[in-house]
Amino acid sequence: MDDDLTVLELTVNGNRRTATVDRRELLVEALRTRFGITGPKIGCLTGDCGACTVRLDGLITKSCLHIAVAEDRAEIETLESMSVGGLTGLQESFWDNNAFQCGYCLSGMLFSAAELLERDPKPNEDEIRQAISGNLCRCTGYDAIVTAIKRYADRGSATVEDVAQ
Amino acid sequence: MIPTRFEYLAPRSVAGLVAALDEESRLLAGGTWVVPEMGRAESRPRRVVDLRRAGLARISVERSRLCLGAMCTYSDLLASEDVARYAPLLRTMATGVTGGAALRNQATIGGSVAAARPQSDVPAAFVALRAVAVVSGPAGTHRVPVAELFLGAGRTTLAADEVITGFEMPSSRTSTHGYVKLKRGGSSWPIATAATLLRLDDAGRCEDACLVLGGVEEVPLTVDLTAILGRPPGDEELDAAVTQATAALSAPWTDVLAPGDYRATVTAPVARRALTMAWANTGE
Ligand SMILES: Cc1cc2nc3c(=O)[nH]c(=O)nc-3n(C[C@H](O)[C@H](O)[C@H](O)COP(=O)(O)OP(=O)(O)OC[C@H]3O[C@@H](n4cnc5c(N)ncnc54)[C@H](O)[C@@H]3O)c2cc1C
Ligand code: FES
Ligand code: FES
């Protein structure tokens, strides 16, 4: 085996998996190219855009700021984990309110919104803007995203597990 | 992908960290600064030494001193009752860190201090809180006031084989605080920050006061406030403190965000806002 290749074990969206990765790869790169999980996107690689957001051992994080091998045995949830068995209520609300176009920013927007709603099921607009502030969207101008999160929270069923009917 | 090859180690003790360090290694804390730098090949360490397995994220209070592990993240500060009680300034500071919850879950206080970037929040806030860094190296462990760690932009007194394991600071629960950042936009780096603490005696006179400015010079700038001690804080004292802030500035910092003369101009209003915030809270 090439000197720079090594085996990485991750639990990705509930499945324990291994893949051969290059030691120099970022977590987002390993997820996409070695594990075939393309929900997290590559945007800035500086931590600014949030396109690569995942949940790592329960906490949301920007996966471009991690060296993949440093996360051996971690539990990772990606955007894909949200829609097992259908879209979540939050995702439906994004759909209904035109809160995305290209979808590149969705990992960051949805994980940030979900994290906020877990802490505070009834956030005001200001809190919503704060929560998504680490994420850049080049398509929507943000207002539609804020509206989607607000309308979803106002419906009174703001749990992340909530799956739309 | 990071263009250069490196060895990755994650020692499980401070001794292990120190043993792994040399001129060609780089400590990895949250990685929010190191990882992109390595990606751009601005840093090409032969060995990356991960701090995360060495158990340095503890928060405790010992003899009314607040002790913070170097690996505490901004989220850890925000979640801690001890921080809220003994160093509320840090809570205010952490609330204003940009990058969202994902960044706050990852970026550490040790990384911010060690990176010694002039515009960062933590260095000046820690100087205002009179924090001391606990530093381990081959010769053992010693304590250094954070104010004495900074040599210049991105430069500290830390040797290549030394690691900050944590910070200790006296309780500031009997002081009020002010913290202000001047930024271009919601998510931009600060151009200037001001951290201030104020404690009044029973007669309402200023018993202890400090003001530390960040971003205006290469290293945190401590303003001498002895002129207002022993006096009840009023407009005259506020003016005197702001005058001291302007006078303290000798070599204003220039970067892509703002030239030095801009920073020199905003020093007074930024200092005034922070002091006003601390003043206003003394009434509570
Ligand atoms: C999107 C984004 C937004 C940000 N917003 C802010 C903000 O609002 N305010 C702000 O102040 N900063 C901000 N930052 C900067 C960030 O806070 C700092 O980069 C962070 O605190 C550094 O911590 P880290 O754990 O990621 O450090 P790392 O990147 O892991 O390390 C930084 C440096 O410190 C060294 N180091 C780390 N820990 C130690 C230690 N214990 N002992 C000795 N050396 C050590 C490393 O070798 C490296 O040189 C932002 C960064 C990003 C990417
Ligand atoms: S690609 Fe990770 S934050 Fe932009
Ligand atoms: S939908 Fe395209 S970046 Fe947000």
Quick: pLDDT tens for A114-152: 999 999 999 999 999 999 999 999 999 999 999 999 999
Among B218, B206, B208, B281, residue whose Cα is nearest residue B254: B218
Report which residue type is found at B61.
Answer: V
Contact A112, B101 (CB under 8 A): yes
Tokens of B95: 């609330």
Note the ipTM here: 0.93
pLDDT (average), residues B137-149: 98
Rounded to a whole number of angstroms, the distance from the CA of A156 to the nearest CA of chain B is 23
Which residues of chain B have a Cβ shorter than 8 Å from any chain A Cβ?
Answer: 1-6, 8, 10, 28, 30-32, 35-36, 39, 48, 50, 52, 75, 98-103, 105-106, 186-187
Please enumerate in sequence order all residues whose Cβ is within 8 A of that of B142, keeping only pairs 6 or more positions apart, or say none: B134, B135
Contact A26 B187 (CB under 8 A): no
Q: Give the architecture (CATH level 2) of A84-164.
A: Orthogonal Bundle (1.10)
Return residue ranges of chain B for CATH 3.30.43.
7-50
- Adjacency order of strands within the sheet including B47-50: B7-9, B47-50, B25-28
Domain B59-170 has CATH 3.40.630.30: no
Tokens of B142: 């010693």
Q: How confident is the model at residue A19 (pLDDT cuts 50, 70, 90)?
A: very high
Query: CA B8, B11, B16, B17: dihedral to nearest 10 degrees?
Result: 60
CA–CA gap between residue B159 and residue B84 (Å, rounded): 33
Residue A4: phi and psi, rounded to 5, are -90, 0
Tokens of B282: 């003394």
pLDDT (average), residues A44-49: 97
Q: How confident is the model at residue A160 (pLDDT cuts 50, 70, 90)?
A: very low
What is the reported pLDDT for B53? Answer: 96
CA–CA gap between residue B158 and residue B114 (Å, rounded): 8
pLDDT (average), residues A18-46: 97
CA–CA gap between residue B266 and residue B260 (Å, rounded): 10
CA–CA gap between residue B8 and residue B28 (Å, rounded): 10
pLDDT (average), residues B202-227: 96
Contact B102 A134 (CB under 8 A): yes
CA–CA gap between residue A68 and residue A27 (Å, rounded): 4
- Measure A12 CA to ligand 2 centroid, in angstroms: 19
Contact B105 A60 (CB under 8 A): yes
What is the reported pLDDT for B200? Answer: 95
pLDDT above 60: residue B171 = yes
Domain A5-81 has CATH 3.20.20.370: no
- Measure A100 CA to ligand 3 centroid, in angstroms: 5
Tokens of B23: 């001129």
Report which residue type is found at A88.
Answer: T
- Which of A29, A132, A133 lies closest to B1 in CB terms? A29
B177-281 folds as: Enolase-like; domain 1 (3.30.390)
- Show residues of chain A in contact with B75, CB under 8 Å: 59
* Top CATH class, B7-50: alpha beta
Contact A47 B6 (CB under 8 A): no
pLDDT above 90: residue A163 = no
Host H or E run for residue B187: none
* Domain boundaries defined on chain A: 5-81, 84-164
CA–CA gap between residue B127 and residue B172 (Å, rounded): 13
What is the reported pLDDT for B259? Answer: 96
Tokens of B124: 């000046």
Task: Give the tens place of pLDDT for each residue, B238-253.
Answer: 999 999 999 999 999 9
